[in-house]
Amino acid sequence: MNRNFPILLAEDHVVTRKLLEKKLVQAGHEVTSVENGRDALRLFENRFFPIILTDWIMPEMDGLELCRAIRKMHSKGYVYIVLLTAKDGKDDIILGLESGADDYLTKPIDHLELIARLNTAKRILSLEKSLKDANEENILLSVTDSLTGCYNRGYLNETLPNEIERARRYDHDLSIVFCDIDHFKKVNDTHGHQVGDLVLKEFVQRIRELVRDKVDWIARYGGEEFMVVLPETDVTGACSMAKRLRSSLADRKILIHDKMLSVTSSFGVTGINLDTSVSMKKFDTIIGQVDKFLYQAKEKGRDCIVSGVL
């Protein structure tokens, strides 16, 4: 309840608008005021306001038109609209609420009542935000590998086909790096699964240090296998990233409690050749090809990179 949301005030009567603005500011609100619905809508299109106070009768666009326009827009959060008017008949109230208003205050405005109504708005908006945050957290958890914090296999299966289609449609590069920690079973057998889990976490952290934030992404394919998806990156660039990661893992031992572990990894790298047919740029084709390159890296003795282009 301590949070004061920004308010957009639309009121054509100058004295009323200034008085309302003064009282709202005194109550701790940030207020932006305009004299008609058209100006309010223009402002709202460029900045999100969770609370709107609007007069009913205004020039250019009245309060009901503003309510309807706001409700048709795709906003980043819920907008709580309070209609201010001298109209107090039952039919008027119904019309205002049906137009999209959440609440209704009759003029002249009682300022104590206004603050009380705004407190109701704040409770509803805070609840809406809490539910939205919880939903976003649940969505994130559903696509995240619980151990390493990177994306999981389900996210890979759902998102990579979209990345492939986007690269094909816009004629952009796309590369995949398939990583596998060498002899990982030996790490678990020798040091225990808890140490193995810490090695996996460290491995993902080192990948994160080398990829572009909010552009590239990492998914755990299974066990000790990870895929790094590199949009806007050709195979040469992907191989450079794989070389840096291979060196980071091979040259820098991993400190686990009081143990210094030497770990290496093998890599398969592939990218889309945009000269090939569309049918060759499918999810299964790319996964199969990069898996083949990873297998070849293992066959060559591990701790190396094998790459190619579809």
Task: Name the DSSP letter for residue 144.
Answer: B
Q: Are 256 and 203 spatial neighbours (Cβ–Cβ below 8 Å)?
A: no
Residues whose CB falls within 8 Å of the CB of residue 207, separated by 6 or more in sequence, listed in order = 150, 179, 218, 226, 228, 245
Where do we find the tokens 């609007």? Answer: 54
CA atoms of 195 and 76, how far apart (whole Å): 43
CA atoms of 187 and 201, how far apart (whole Å): 14
Comparing CA positions, the residue from 272, 281, 182, 179 lying closest to residue 232 is 272
Comparing CA positions, the residue from 295, 287, 271, 272 lying closest to residue 157 is 287
Residue in 137, 224, 225, 299 annotated catalytic:
224
Where do we find the tokens 């405005």? Answer: 109
DSSP secondary structure of 7-49: EEEE-S-HHHHHHHHHHHHHTT--EEEESSHHHHHHHHHHS--
Q: Is 158 a catalytic residue?
A: no
Q: 276 is written with which tokens? A: 């090939």
3-state secondary structure string across 78-117: CCEEEEEECCCCHHHHHHHHHCCCCEEEECCCCHHHHHHH
Q: Are 288 and 178 spatial neighbours (Cβ–Cβ below 8 Å)?
A: no
Within 10 angstroms of residue 211's Cβ, the number of other Cβ atoms is 18
Residues whose CB falls within 8 Å of the CB of residue 71, separated by 6 or more in sequence, listed in order = 100
User: Catalytic site residues?
Assistant: 224
